[in-house]
Amino acid sequence: MSVLDEKNIYMDNDSLENDRNRKYKLDTVKEAKKKEREEKKLKKQQDQLKRQYEREVRKQTKPGECQKLLTALIEPSVIKLSYGPGILDSLTKQSIKYDIQEQPIAGLITFVRQISSLKQIDGKLDTDLSEQLEKNALYLMSLEEFLNCVSANNKPIEGSPQCNLSRRILYLNEITRHRQLTVFVKGLDDHYRDQRRKENKAYKAKCQGNRKNEYNSTFQVTKNEIDQALIEIQIKFNVIFRFFEKDADIATAIAHYAKAIAEYPFKKQRMESNFSFHAESSGSLRVADDGSGVSHIWKNQLQQFKNVSTDVANAIVSHYPTPSNLLQAYERVPITEAQHLLQNIEVRRGAGLVSTSRKVGKELSKKLHTFITSQSDNIIVQ
């Protein structure tokens, strides 16, 4: 083999090696681009899923939708109460689901909320549904139990967790794991009426000398005792008591209570948003760039004062279209004259032959002068 042939063989080998290297580089670049495209596609899908999830969460927290995600867990004995069926009807009307299941104590209603969350599985995002037990609990206390607990409030504790109202609430807090407890009681006004009726009957019997019908108030609970017990419970445990007389009222109140729990996240988010009081509504008054709208706001502000009607506000605004115009007018005259600057402005009512007129008056003139010029934060202008 000649030297030239060997040289050609070496050149062919180098060419093949270069081709393989170029192909490897091209394949590597293609693979990298393919991987980059797949990552971008996956990120785009994840971003879309996140946006969809956020939209769904916002939708679920809005009133009208949030009720559908709440379930009331009702202890079975509640359904046997006189207002039990009414509770189920009221919850259904509010689009709130319910489930009859055992609770730690009879008469207890708790609430669970269905919540969705994003989870990453094998590098991919997916939505997951779970249940969250709410921090609120509702206890339906019978009138007899309530009166017995209040009656035992001033008696020595005998070791039972149910012997007085404070110990009873402490016991309820423990078994509900210290949730925000609200207690509903039905029939207290009937108790007061029955108590007054017995007292009147006993008084009449006493006047007639009939000792057999004398009223024994030893085991009766007075309104003052009840009020004192409720104040003590409110201070110690922050437990709310509500009293009802009609079955329909307590059933409706339970449904409204559940609805308030369902709407709580939405209302909390709205309250925590920065400058929520600046949000525009259908009743908002806007000022355009050219200043139009200021007179309308000024007129509405004037009408916040007592006895300032639309006619009076219009009369003042016709002379001083903005508060700054009035302030400038005050600054051009002495204080004594400024206080009476508005009192002779004519206020016209109606039109034509039936129209009447009067003056703004001294009192309102002084009041507006104080309102516009005062620099003290201790002055109250009504």
- Classify 191 in phi/psi space as left (phi over 0), alpha (psi -120 to 50) or beta: alpha
Q: Give the residue carrying structure tokens 């980059």.
A: 36
- Can you give the pLDDT at residue 13? 58
- How far CA 281 is from CA of 14, 193, 286, 290, in Å, comes to 78, 48, 10, 21
pLDDT (mean) for 297-308: 86
Which domains are present in the chain?
Answer: 66-271 (3.40.50.10130), 294-373 (1.10.150.670)
Q: 130-144, 306-320, 346-360 — which is least confidently predicted?
A: 346-360
- Looking at residue 177, its pLDDT comes to 87
The mean of the pLDDT values for the chain is: 81
pLDDT in tens, 142-182: 999 999 999 887 665 454 444 689 999 999 999 998 899 99
pLDDT of residue 218: 44
What are the angstrom distances between the C-alpha of 245 and each of 109, 149, 348?
20, 20, 53
SS3 104: coil
Spatial distance between the Cα atoms of 91 and 94, rounded to a whole number of angstroms: 5
Task: Give the pLDDT of residue 122.
Answer: 62
The size of the chain, in residues, is 382
Interval 14-71: pLDDT, tens? 566 666 677 777 777 778 888 888 888 877 777 777 777 677 777 777 888 889 999 9
Residue from 243, 248, 241 nearest 93 by CA: 248
Give the Cα separation of 265 and 296 in Å (integer). 36
Given a cut of 70, whether residue 118 has pLDDT beyond it is no
- Higher local confidence (pLDDT), 363 or 13: 363
Residue 279 pLDDT greater than 60, yes or no: no
DSSP secondary structure string, 173-222? Answer: HHHTTS-EEEEEEE-HHHHHHHHHHHHHHHHHHHHTT-GGG----TT---
Higher pLDDT pick, 88 / 122: 88
315 pLDDT exceeds 60? yes
| Mean pLDDT, rounded, for 251-274 | 87
List the beta bridge partners of residue 244.
Answer: 186
Distance CA 246, CA 186 (A): 7
Both structure tokens of 5: 């042939």
pLDDT tens digits, one per residue of 78-97: 999 999 999 999 999 999 99
Q: How confident is the model at residue 137 (pLDDT cuts 50, 70, 90)?
A: very high
Q: What is the pTM of this model?
A: 0.59
Position 4 scores a pLDDT of 47
Q: Average pLDDT in the 349-369 region?
A: 80
